[in-house]
Amino acid sequence: MPGVDASITTAVVFDRGGLDALIAALKAKGFHVVGPRVADDAVVYADLDAASDLPAGWGDEQEGGRYRLTRRKDGALFGYTSGVQGWKRHLYPPRQKLFAARRDGQGFAILPPDPPAAPLALIGVRACELAAIAKQAKVFGDRDFADPGYQGRLASAFVVAVECGEAGGTCFCAAMGTGPAVETGFDIKMVEVIDKARHVFVATAGSAAGAKVLDGLKAPAAAEADKAAAAARVAKAAKQAKTLDAKAAARLKEHPDHARWDDVARRCMTCGNCTMVCPTCFCTTVEDTTDLKGEHAERWRNWDSCFTIDFSYIHGGAIRTEVKSRYRQWITHKLSTWHDQFGSSGCVGCGRCITWCPVGIDITAEATAITEGARKAAAGGSKKAATSGGKGR
């Protein structure tokens, strides 16, 4: 995990060949390089061999319940908005072995853990995704009990951030204060600059390790014009159609009985897509297995979703049987009770839950309807104002 060293700020510039050299250098250092590539008609974060694996010339269109890859004319390598899932599936994999044990008489012996995998190099991390990583790091490492697996993977990871040049249709990082500018938590930060004359990457180091890798590229210092072009791209990405009053949303927990919960429950299919694509959702369940002889047992931790009935099961039945209670739990935790637990919102404004909801439920619209409607009602607004939050949108 990179620290931030303000002294390392000299920007360099390189072309696609430089990017290839960067990936090769990280591989030579023993990193398992992961980055964006096209698979199954989407951009996913998967193993990268070279810059040629990057989604050259691909963009995407995202809106509520809709995702389409599009062709770009400019040949951009980082011209998409964000991958389907964030980096969570690499830093906190969907299935993790907690331990294996062997029967030993009436008892059992815990077997030594598998050796740690190669350290990760993450290529193309967006500002919102860096914020999500920081939020999960807090969940898994900043309290009484830590998850050593997550801590280890993050501590050994090399992070190459790429600032966004344009916002996607479901982005609202600006409202959540997490982007689009990358400010901390990276080893190298890049902006992809494309104009008539060139297609280059303006890169800055954010850690000593990052500076060392950049030095090795022997790239020239970026000109003022390069830096200005980079800044202009990020400014463009800050213009986002969606927004959310994060402060108001933090008060969602005060409205557990709002009529809007019934309304959204009629649309929500409790599929759990939102929790699977959310880069901060951290809930897991456990799974126990044995071999046929019952001699060898394993205990696995798998991603779970608060949208399943089993999630809240205690003997006698589940606590949250109704759709509205499960949706309420998810969004209230994300936007509101996360503040009490971890000191910030649990939402980074990446918009994935909106894009990948099969019926296009929009977290910003739901939170606004509930908190705005309630605020108007509390302010003694007209009956019409109070109910308009419960319909519409």
Q: Tell the residue number behind the tokens 């791209």, with chain if given.
A: 233
CB of 337 to another protein, least distance (A): 4
Is residue 135 part of the contact set for another protein (CB under 8 A)? no
Structure tokens, 308 = 């399943």
Q: Does 110 bind another protein (CB under 8 A)?
A: yes
Q: How many chain residues interact with another protein (CB under 8 A)?
A: 56
Tally of CB atoms within 10 A around 16: 17
Q: Select the residue interacting with another protein from 184, 270, 312, 387 (CB under 8 A).
A: 312
Using CB under 8 A as the binding rule, whether residue 98 contacts another protein is answered as yes
- Candidate residues 9, 10, 52, 341; the one interacting with another protein per rule CB under 8 A: 341
User: Which of residues 101 and 208 has its CB atom nearest to another protein in the complex?
Assistant: 101
Nearer to another protein, 77 or 353 (CB): 353
* Closest to 27 (Cα-Cα) out of 118, 137, 133: 118
**Does the footprint of another protein cover residue 270 (CB under 8 A)?**
no
Considering the complex, what minimum distance in angstroms separates the CB of residue 158 from another protein?
Answer: 14
| CA 250 to mean position of chain CA atoms | 20
Q: 127-141 and 148-156 are packed helices; what angle lies between their axes, rounded to 10 degrees? A: 140
Residue 359 is a binding residue for another protein (CB under 8 A): no
Q: Nearest 10 degrees: CA dihedral of 215, 216, 217, 222?
A: 0
**Beta-bridge mates of residue 248:** none
Residue 106 binds another protein (CB under 8 A) = yes
Rounded to a whole number of angstroms, the minimum distance from the CB of residue 127 to another protein is 21
Instruction: Give the position of tokens 């060898």.
Output: 296
DSSP letters for 281-346? ---EEEEEEE-TTS-EEEEEEEE--TTSSGGGEETTEES--SHHHHHHHHHHIIIIIHHHHHSS-S
Residue 254 CB, nearest approach to another protein (Å):
10
From the list 20, 2, 8, 382, the residue with the least C-alpha distance to 201 is 20
Rounded CA-CA distance 15/37 in Å is 19
Sign of CA dihedral 6, 8, 10, 11: negative
Nearer to another protein, 27 or 253 (CB): 253
Under the binding rule (CB under 8 A), the answer on residue 70 touching another protein is: no
Cα separation, 359 vs 357, whole angstroms? 5
Is there binding between residue 292 and another protein (CB under 8 A)?
A: no
DSSP summary character for residue 254: G
Does position 226 interact with another protein (CB under 8 A)? The reply is no
378 binding another protein? (CB under 8 A): no
Query: What single-letter DSSP state applies at residue 356?
Result: T
- Cβ-based nearer residue to another protein, 59 or 185: 185
Q: Return the number of the residue (58 or 261) whose C-beta is nearest another protein.
A: 261
Q: For another protein, which residue of 14, 45, 80, 311 counts as binding (CB under 8 A)?
A: 311
Q: Which of 57, 93, 119, 152 binds another protein (CB under 8 A)?
A: 152
Rounded to a whole number of angstroms, the minimum distance from the CB of residue 24 to another protein is: 27
Instruction: State the Cα–Cα distance between residues 201 and 247, nearest whole angstrom.
Output: 36
**What SS3 class is residue 34?**
strand
184: contact with another protein by CB under 8 A = no
Determine the angle formed by the axes of helices 363-378 and 323-332, rounding to 10 degrees.
90
Any contact of residue 112 with another protein (CB under 8 A)? no
Query: Which range, of 33-41, 244-252, 253-261, 354-362, touches another protein by CB under 8 A?
Result: 253-261
Positions touching another protein (CB under 8 A) are: 1, 98-99, 101, 103, 106-108, 110, 139-141, 143-149, 151-152, 154-155, 253, 256-257, 282-286, 288-290, 294, 297, 299, 301, 304, 306, 311-316, 319-322, 325, 329, 333, 337, 340-341
